């Protein structure tokens, strides 16, 4: 379990640290560092490890690169503070992951004795686990291989933005999903929280013989997964990916997005069950109501209010009573969090 995360020159955070609990609820407004913290924790085990997002090239750094791609700009330059820092680092307790920029290349190193020796373009000999490109989505521009195993406990990042990127991975693992009845279980689970009655999920031909992942309704009709409500889609995919990946650290960005109160309450109960199974859960939200719902379901929960002051991460721990008082006062953390810290 990760006790402390420290960042330096990573994305929008020049420096800062946050202590983590078995269940950590990261609360804050837009551009307060919430997503940055989760993405750092997603990369930390190894940016080159396999992840369940096939359209991103099946490696963690590629998944984030696809999320951050803008117009024609690609590559991994977004990992560096202000896009101009020469080094960036993610530290989880005593484990350190570093990104070193040199020309168009990014060398990835750790403080563990793993990887292989490599001579940089400037003639420096360093031990790396792999190389990223500053401007290309390719993971290995300089070398034909990289270290692929998780170095610390594996993490899984979930979000509504990532949901659609998992379709190919689900297709490739469909025999496992169906034969151990994961699809049936999660379909019936979500049916208790919405009006539709789903009994299973299928992969079947659609128009023109193309394949589609569908939610199977009780009356036999099929609804493409992409055409279900965004909350239903996120819920189904999250549960399936968790069962396939079995991460030791579960990350979920903007947990409240598209969820009705019943779905959010169900997810809160699931998180409590995971914590009791020694799975660390770290989620982000800008909703005080969502933070309260999730924290109230688990006594080991910790609520952290985040803010960025001159790109330095600031953290304040909140009690449930403080959250209740803020709700009673009608405070919106999206505009008020600097005043609360």
99 closest CA partner among 70, 129, 67: 129
Question: Among the residues of the chain, which ranges form H helices?
Answer: 34-43, 60-68, 160-163, 167-172, 174-179, 182-191, 230-245, 261-276, 288-296, 320-328, 333-340
Q: Are 184 and 190 in contact (CB under 8 A)?
A: no
Instruction: Measure the CA–CA gap between 319 and 47, rounded to whole angstroms.
Output: 34
pTM: 0.94
Q: Which residues contact 153 (CB under 8 A, 6 or more apart)?
A: 1, 2, 45, 247, 248, 249, 280
Neighbouring residues of 218: CB distance < 8 A, sequence distance ≥ 6: 197, 198, 199
CA angle 309, 310, 311 (to 5 degrees): 85
> How high is the pLDDT of residue 103?
87
At residue 186, φ and ψ (nearest 5 deg) are -75, -30
Residue with tokens 């009608």: 330
User: Could you tell me if 65 and 44 are in contact, meaning their C-beta atoms sit under 8 angstroms apart?
Assistant: no
| CATH code that applies to domain 21-45+247-341 | 3.40.50.300
Note whether 163 and 53 are within 8 A (CB): no
Q: Residue 99, Cβ neighbours under 10 Å: how many?
A: 23
Count of CB atoms within 10 A of residue 25's CB? 26
The tokens of 71 are what?
């117009």
C-alpha–C-alpha distance, residues 27 and 213, integer Å: 34
Among 106, 158, 103, 165, smallest CA distance to 137 is for: 106
Rg over CA atoms, the chain: 21
pLDDT of residue 340: 57
pLDDT in tens, the chain (341 residues): 999 999 999 999 999 999 999 999 999 988 899 999 999 999 999 999 999 997 655 899 999 999 999 998 899 999 999 999 999 999 999 999 999 999 888 999 999 999 999 888 777 889 999 999 998 876 544 445 689 999 999 999 999 889 889 999 999 999 999 999 999 999 999 999 999 999 999 999 999 999 999 999 999 999 999 999 899 999 999 999 999 999 999 999 999 888 989 999 999 999 999 999 999 999 999 999 999 999 999 999 999 999 999 999 999 999 999 999 999 988 888 665 555 55
Phi first, then psi: what are they for 97, rounded to 5°? Answer: -115, 125
Whole-number Å distance between alpha carbons of 146 and 139: 9
Domain ranges of the chain: 21-45+247-341, 46-152, 172-232
């Amino acid at each position: 379990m990760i006790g402390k995360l420290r960042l330096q020159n990573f994305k929008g955070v020049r420096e800062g640290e946050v202590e983590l609990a078995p269940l950590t609820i990261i609360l804050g407004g837009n551009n307060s560092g919430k997503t940055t913290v989760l993405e750092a924790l997603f990369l930390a085990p190894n940016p080159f490890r396999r992840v369940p997002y096939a359209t991103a090239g099946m490696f963690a750094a590629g998944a984030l690169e696809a999320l951050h791609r803008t117009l024609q700009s690609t590559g991994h330059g977004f990992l560096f503070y202000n896009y101009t820092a020469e080094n960036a680092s993610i530290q989880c307790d005593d484990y350190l992951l570093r990104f070193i920029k040199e020309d168009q290349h990014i060398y990835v190193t750790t403080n563990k004795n793993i990887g292989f020796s490599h001579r940089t373009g400037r003639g420096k000999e360093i031990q790396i686990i792999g190389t990223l490109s500053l401007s290309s989505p390719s993971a290995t521009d300089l070398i034909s291989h990289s270290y692929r195993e998780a170095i610390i406990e594996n993490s899984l990042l979930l979000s509504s933005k990532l949901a659609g990127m998992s379709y190919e991975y689900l297709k490739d693992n469909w025999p496992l999903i169906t034969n151990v009845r994961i699809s049936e279980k999660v379909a019936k689970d979500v049916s208790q929280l919405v009006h539709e009655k789903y009994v299973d999920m299928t992969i079947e031909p659609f128009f023109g013989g193309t394949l589609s992942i569908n939610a199977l309704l009780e009356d036999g009709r099929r609804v493409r997964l992409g055409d279900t409500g965004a909350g239903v889609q996120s819920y189904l995919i999250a549960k399936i990916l968790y069962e396939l990946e079995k991460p030791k650290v579960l990350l979920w960005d903007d947990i409240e997005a598209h969820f009705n109160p019943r779905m959010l309450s169900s997810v809160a109960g699931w998180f409590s069950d995971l914590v009791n199974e020694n799975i660390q859960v770290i989620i982000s939200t800008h909703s005080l109501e969502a933070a309260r719902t999730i924290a109230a379901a688990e006594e080991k929960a910790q609520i952290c209010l985040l803010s960025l002051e001159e790109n330095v991460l600031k953290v304040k721990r909140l009690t449930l009573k403080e959250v209740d008082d803020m709700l009673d006062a009608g405070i919106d953390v999206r505009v008020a969090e600097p005043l609360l810290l």
